[in-house]
Structures are given as C-alpha cells and as structure tokens.
Chains A and B, each alone.
Chain A
Amino acid sequence: MNAGDAKDEFFGEAQELIDALARDLLALETSARGGGEDPELINDIFRSVHTLKGLSGLFGLSRLGTLTHELENRLDDMRMGRVSVTSSVLDVLFRAVELLGRMLASARRGEADDDSELPSLLASLKSGAGAGAEKVDDELAPFDLDPDIVRVLTEHEEHRLRTNVRNGTPLYRLRARFPIDRIDKALDELKQLAKPLGEIIAYLPTGDLPADGTLFELDILYASASPLEQLRNRLEGQDVTIHRIARKNAGSHTSLPAAPEVPQSPALPPPPRAPTDRDSIPLALDKPFGDPPTNERTALRESKHAGGIKTPVPPKPEDEASRAVAAGRMAHTVRVDIRRLDHLMNVLGELAIVRGSLARLTERLRQHATFRDLTSELHRLHRAFDRNLAEMQSGILEVRMVPLGQVFERLARAVRQIARQNEKEIRLVVTGAETEVDKLIVEELSDPLLHIVRNSIDHGIEPQGNRAALGKPIEGTIALNAFQAGNHVIIEIEDDGAGVDHDRVLATALKRGLLTEEQAREISPRDAINYLFLPGFSTRDAVTDLSGRGVGLDVVKTNIARLGGVVDVQSERGIGTKFTITLPITLAILRALLLGVAGRTYALPLSSVAEATVLDLRAVRTVEGREVMSLRGETLPLCRLERLFSHERPAKGSHRSYVVVVALGGRRVGIVVDELFGQQDIVIKALGPSLSSVRGFAGATDLGEQRVGLVLDAAALLDEVLSAGERRGLEAFSVGR
C-alpha cells in the first residue's frame, strides 16, 4: 500500500466516522428529548471521536486533532455524568461535527480549511466543561457492594452505577460462565438477551476459573427495572446465576433519592453448581459483607461484617471480554476501494465475452457429427460456466450495494441545520432507508437530494406564522420515501409547503423565450413545472418561490441524469411539492437491448425500454413535419435514430424497421431502428473526457471480438426528442401533442 492509498483509506474511514457521529448525535438528541440519555450512545460517540483523533494525529491533521481532542474531553464529561445532555450542549456538538466534516473535506481536496469557526467552537466546547451534576458520595452506601469492586470500576462504570442507583433501578449481579473457546459468541448472545431489559454496567472477571481451564467466569453488574421473574425467563438456558444486590438497612439513609422499593425475591434460582465455601463472591448477595474502606472516593462507609471474602482484583478491570467480542466482529468486515470492485466487474465483463465465444464455438462443433460426444461435454461445461458466472456477477453486485440510509442520515443533519437557520420547525419522516443502491449512486445522490431538501425548507415550507394562518400544522413535514420498483429505485421527496406557482413559472419561461405564447396556453401544469429544470431558472429573481443559491434544479437534473436516472416534480398550490427521482439500482452492469441502425450497433438499457414492435408504416402520420404513430390508441412521437445521428446509410432497402418504445418517468418516445439483435448483459464504461460534450450516450461497452458499442442514454434522448425548447435536430423527431 502506498501513501496515497493509505490517505484515501483514511479519508474514507474518517468520513464514515463523521457520518456515524452525526447519526448517533441525532439519536442522542431524540433519546434526550424522551427524557433519558442512552449511555451506550454516548459511548459510541466518544469512541468515534477518539478514533478520529487518533487518525488525525496519524495523518498530521493537527487542527482536526485539536477539535477532536476538545470534543473528546466534553464527551468524556458527558460519559462520566459531569455534564448533562442538554440541547445547548447538543448544539455545540452538532456544530463541531459539521465543522469536522468541512475540515475533512478541505483536507481531502488539499486546501487550507476555513478556520474562522474553530476558535469560537473550541471556546464553546471548553466552556461546557465542569458544568455538571455533582456527586452524592453516599448513594452507593446502602447497597451491599464490595468496595473492592467499586474501586476497580472505571470512572464511567461508576458513573453508570451511580446513575442507576439514583434512578432507583434495582441492581443485579449476573454470574455467567462461558466455555473459553466460544466466549465471544456466548457473551455476545448474553448481551443481546440482557440489554433489552436493562443496562450492563460492568464486566468483572472473577478470576476464579475452574482448574481445567475450559470455562471462563464473569460477573456482570447489571441494572434492570424488569421483574426478576422476567429476567429469569429471558436468560433461561444461559449458564447464568442471577443475584439481586440487596439494599442494606435503608432506614439510616433517608437522604437518598426515594427508590421504588422492589420487593426482593427470596426465591433466587439455585446456582448451576453448589457454591462452596471457597467461592469468592465479589458482589454482596444476601449476606452483606465488605472490606474496610480504602478509597476515599468510592468508600462504602458501612460494613456490618468485616473480613468478608476478598475478591481477586483483575489487573485490567475494563471489559476486556466485550472488547474481544468487538474485535472479533470487526474482523468480519473488509473495507474495499470501489475501484477494485469495478476492476472485478470488468474482468467479469471479459469473462462474459469468453462465454459468448464459447457458445458460438459449441454451436460450430455441433455441425460436425464426428465431435458429437465432445460437443455435448463442451455444452455441459458451458452451462456450468454460465451458471457460476451469473452467480459471481450477482455476488459482486451485492457487495456494491449499500442502504440509502447512509445518505438519508446526512440529509437529516442538514434538515436540522437548515431548519434552524430558517427558524422553521421541520419534521423529517423517512421510510425505506434500508433500500439498497449501488455505492457509487449513493455517493452521487447527496448533493441533488440536499439541494431539493434545501429548496423545500427555504422556499417550499411557509414561515410558521403563514402556516398557522393557513390552518396548517406549524411544524412542516418533509417526507423522504425510498423503495425499489423492478430494476429501479424510486426516491420521493415530498413537502407540505406552498407548492410551485405554475403561472409564474410560465411567465418566466415566456420572458426568456423558452416557449411561445401559443405553447404556453396549451401546456399542462405538469409540463409547465418541468421548466424549473431548465438552466436559467436558478436565479433568485426568476421564481422567488422556488430558487436556490446559485445552483439550480438544472444541476440536480444533470446530476441525476449522469446516474442514468430521471427526476420529476409534481406540485399543487397550497398543498405541497413532490420530487420523484427514479434511478437504476446499479451502474456496474445492466441488461441492454442491442439494436442496429445503418450498419452500426447500439445498446439501449433494457430498464428504459417499454416494448419493441415492427414498425407499421400505415400507423405513421406526419404532424407539422414530424412523425408520430398511434400505438393502441395513443400517439407516440417517433425518432429515427439514423437521422438524429446523421448516419449515412448504404441505399435504404425495403426491409422492415422496428420501433423501440423508450419510457422513463411517464414520458415515451418510439425510436425507429433497422434491426433488433436481442439482449445482452453489458458492463458500461465511461467515454473519455474528450467526448464529454457529446450528448445522447451513457457510455460504451465491449461487444466481444474487439468490437465496441455505444450505449444510448435513454433519458437524454427523451429530453432531446420531447423538449419543447430544443431547436437542434427538430426534423428528426416530433412532439406528439
């Protein structure tokens, strides 16, 4: 691995960490609103920041390091309960994460980052220090806890213990035994069972292993408000003994927060093995015991019986076991540069070509009677090859797929921020975050989605006062829905804002000469709104109700089109606006229809093909010099590909032609071609930069035998043929209205 690779990997990992941070912060905010703070979440956040700090140090990004360092300090305070999770604290954290993201982005581009915000943010982070809950030294006293145990707890574990005590959550000691060879799995299993009912505060190895060394024994300090019976049922089948940690005479400790008195169950299940006298029990059970106080901070001042059983103190009391589990889990995932997958996909494409040649060879052999046996053997081999190849292909495709949730999380962050800037209350409702799309598509989706969402908040959703006057809920709603439909993924972004003013859109389009008065009178509102996607509608004075900051919806459309998708918008005045983005699931490989025009071969992605039929010349009419045909009662604009591409053809014969109906996002065009060669899986490859200005092609693909075919860009062709503002190539197509 060279330095560049390492750096790339760093940026990838750092970005993932920042994404995870933002996601966890959002979750923390939600849980804090609900009244509780999730200690696991704070831990996760702390860990992410810690890792990020380490990485920044490694790659010499000192400013990133400074920020993560301060952030880590504050999160540590939160972990330890020195600072409570308030909305102002969260705001600072959100700001810090945003800034981390920006700093990382500029580091990635090799630019100096904009540091104007850093000092103030560092100050805010620092000022949050120390403003926390004060400690009640005595609160652990009424519990029969071995002070040695309390002493070995980490500060965080102790904080969690105290918090639970303060909340009056009953404490338990779970003594669990695991076979040493599967401790990772067994412990994980136990964790999964125990977590829903309570909180695991600490793992404490008892250091009391059976002589044969096959078992590992662990005490788990556990807090749970669930009835003992339920705990017991839940953990049934595990090698676990549950002990309630008793409260000693509560009478003398009236200063404690009143804990709900959970009646102590006298019927503890018998331990799976009879405890012998030599058993060291680290946490007090029914019989109270304890050592004299040795640690000022954690001292338990009352101990009725001195000389309790000593607990061997493990040298490293942090939950090593769970860390081992985490390490075990990490080993199962691999971070892979997507270009390597692209490379595999290319190799696969070549293999598919080999497969084709093999099939042809088999066919030729079949002609010779003498090779019959060999032929059938070859045929069988070819079939097996075919099957495995298909499996491999879908396997690689699967690896590339990631849930849309990744990009939705980033959006959720942005919504929060933009809503605040605009002083609007926005509720973001997400469905279908688990819908999977090719990683490359997800990467490219961020910007277009962000743009649409920003538009919705800036200009779609009305100010609170207006909403109240209209009888709408003050809180605006933006719904993000994703779902799969065949080979496509559909993403809808819907708001309940003011909608788009069609008349105004048309007026602007007229003013800019994008259509004639006559056309404007006849155009449907649905079509009118599509003018929003034309360049020139992005400036603020054009349509104040729906405008951005220099980047227009035309950019959104271009970006989506580059991914082979289309974007459509529907809007109703006063009700809201809905953007619908239709995307292919993957860019890596697709099924295409191969067509022949004037001796050339083109590939058309099958996902955009509705049907293909023989061109019936009797059904073709000419309207204003443009060809249309009626297909089952509907008028279909026709486009002759050879004219669109100005192909010279060697004297057109009287052979028949075909119509391929291309349909995307509710629009249709019939493409007239000479030949249909059938379907083929193709690996689509980008054209070089010198061809980037050529419109109408999504890329090229190997057709085998050194031949290359161009892949038609269905969305671009539709646009070109149907677009009313398009003057170029008019004679080649028709508008069927």
Chain B
Amino acid sequence: MRALPSGEEREEYLGFRADKEMFAVSLALVREILKPPPITEVPRARRDILGIVSVRGQITTVIDLRRRLNLRANDPTVSSRVLLVQGNDEVLGLLVDEVTQVYRLSPLEIEPATSVLGANVGSHVAGIGRPRMRGLRGEVQNASDEVLILLDLAALLS
C-alpha cells in the first residue's frame, strides 16, 4: 500500500459475522482460520463452550461466539469458520458464521463504544469501527455504512 496519509497509523482487523452482526478483532491476535473440524462436545462444560478439537495434535477448546454473546444459537454452516485466537492463557477456537475481510483502521475510524452504545456496553466491546471508503491511493472518500463491533478478546474470553 502506498501513499499512506500521514498521521494515520492503521491497524489491521479481521472482520467476521455472527448472526446478523459484524465484528472485528485485531488481526495480530488471530493465529489461523480453520474450516470447522469435527467438534467433540464436553459434557458439563459452560454453555458457550462448543467442545474440543485437535489442531495438529493440540487439544483446543472451541467457543461459540453466538452463545458467548447471547445471540441466537445456530448449527455451523458451510461458511462457518473457527478462528484460532490467543486467549488469556491458552489458544482458543472461536466459532463464527463467516469471515468477511481484513480492515485497516486508523484511530479516526474507531469510536469509543460508550459514545455509540451508551454506558452499559459490555467490557468485551473495545470500540466501534466505522471504516471509510478509500480511493486507490488510500485517500479517504466517504464514510461507509458498515459498523464493526471491535472485540476485546481478553475481556471476551475471561
């Protein structure tokens, strides 16, 4: 990418969908994107824990983002993916409905969650992303309609 407008240090976010909402997490925290492998359910586990999978011999716990966020539960579909993310003290799988794209957001494109959603927003929301359309040279054109909920993984997974 060239002609980066000065003063804008942009960070990469991975965007994905769960139910009807769009989310994004810092790309640096995503290790891998998998098609959902067979998941073994773990009886008596927390409701949002879907089960365990083996990723190259490593037993990894998979969390259903829908259940975690109290969205409508749904079985995995063809577009479902498991994101391997760095949790607080282990690598965890996060089941999402669809991975959309990588966003490069500058601080200007991120609004504090409270200013948009009010004071009662959950601690797992790090902010609201409003990506702007850019021209070929990276110049800002106009704000898009997209709204990304930027997730704070540490808070989400604790």
Contact = CB atoms under 8 A, between A and B. Distances in A.
Interface in A320-347: 346
Looking at A647, A700, A702, which has the most chain B CB atoms within 10 Å of its CB? A700
A647 B52 CA distance: 16
A707 B46 CA distance: 21
Interface in B15-42: 37-38, 40-42
A372 interface: no
A349 B59 CA distance: 13
Interface string B42-59: 111110010011100111
B61 A687 contact: yes
Contacts of A707: 38, 40, 54
B73 to A, nearest CB: 15
B42 A688 contact: no
A353 to B, nearest CB: 10
Interface in A682-718: 685-691, 694-697, 699-700, 702, 706-710
A695 B52 contact: no
A646 interface: yes
A716 to B, nearest CB: 11
Looking at B42, B45, B46, which has the most chain A CB atoms within 10 Å of its CB? B42
Interface in A637-680: 644-647
Interface residues of A, number: 27
Contacts of B57: 346, 349-350, 685, 702
A700 B62 CA distance: 14
B54 A710 contact: no
B75 interface: no
A707 B57 CA distance: 11
B60 interface: yes
A600 interface: yes
A702 B54 contact: yes
A709 B54 CA distance: 10
Contacts of A696: 43-44
Nearest to B56: A350
Contacts of B60: 688
Contact of B49 (A645, A691, A699): A691
B65 interface: no
Given A691-B42, A694-B44, A685 B59 contact: yes
Interface string A16-54: 000000000000000000000000000000000000000
A706 B59 contact: no
Contacts of B53: 706, 708
B43 A700 contact: no
Given A688-B90, A702-B54, A697 B42 contact: yes
Given A685-B59, A686-B59, A688-B90, A600 B44 contact: no
A687 B90 CA distance: 10
Contact of B61 (A690, A702, A709): A690
B85 to A, nearest CB: 12
A700 B90 contact: no
A95 B39 CA distance: 55
B113 interface: no
Contact of A706 (B37, B42, B43, B46): B37
B145 interface: no
Q: Is the interface of A mostly helix, strand, loop or mixed?
A: mixed
B19 to A, nearest CB: 22
Given A645-B44, A696-B43, A699-B59, A689 B89 contact: yes
A690 B41 contact: no
B128 interface: no
Given A690-B90, A691-B61, A700 B49 contact: no
Given A685-B59, A702-B57, A691 B38 contact: no
Looking at A647, A696, A710, which has the most chain B CB atoms within 10 Å of its CB? A710
Contacts of B45: 691, 694
Contact of A600 (B41, B54, B87): B41
Nearest to A729: B44
A346 B54 CA distance: 12
Contacts of A350: 57
A708 B43 contact: no
A708 B44 contact: no
B90 to A, nearest CB: 4
A644 B45 CA distance: 13
Contacts of A695: 44
B52 A691 contact: yes
B92 interface: yes
B33 to A, nearest CB: 17
Contact of A688 (B37, B40, B43, B59): B59
Contact of B54 (A644, A688, A708): A708
Looking at B40, B60, B87, which has the most chain A CB atoms within 10 Å of its CB? B40
Looking at B40, B41, B43, B90, which has the most chain A CB atoms within 10 Å of its CB? B43
A690 B49 contact: yes
B39 to A, nearest CB: 8
B90 A647 contact: no
Interface in B80-99: 87, 89-90, 92
A699 to B, nearest CB: 7
A695 B38 CA distance: 23
A706 B89 CA distance: 24
A525 B80 CA distance: 57
Contacts of A708: 38, 40, 52-54, 59
Interface in B115-158: 157
B38 A689 contact: no
Contact of A709 (B40, B87, B89): B40
A211 B45 CA distance: 80
A710 B44 contact: no
Contacts of A645: 43-44
Interface in A440-471: none
Contacts of B89: 689
B103 to A, nearest CB: 28
Nearest to A644: B43
Contacts of A700: 40, 52, 54, 59
A687 B87 contact: no
B55 to A, nearest CB: 10
A409 B139 CA distance: 72
Contacts of A706: 37-38, 53-54
Contact of B59 (A644, A646, A687): A687
Looking at B40, B58, B59, which has the most chain A CB atoms within 10 Å of its CB? B59
Contacts of A689: 89-90
Contacts of B52: 687-688, 691, 700, 708, 710
A646 B43 CA distance: 7
B44 to A, nearest CB: 5
Contact of B92 (A646, A688, A709, A710): A688
Given A689-B89, A691-B52, A647 B43 contact: yes
A349 B92 CA distance: 22
A694 to B, nearest CB: 5
A691 B49 CA distance: 9
A709 B37 CA distance: 13
10 contacts: A646-B43, A687-B59, A687-B61, A688-B52, A688-B92, A691-B42, A700-B40, A706-B54, A708-B53, A710-B42
8 nearest interchain CB pairs?
A: A645-B43, A688-B90, A688-B61, A708-B40, A685-B59, A700-B59, A708-B54, A690-B61
Interface of A: 346, 349-350, 600, 644-647, 685-691, 694-697, 699-700, 702, 706-710
Given A687-B59, A694-B43, A700-B52, 6 more contacts: A644-B43, A685-B58, A686-B59, A702-B57, A708-B38, A709-B40
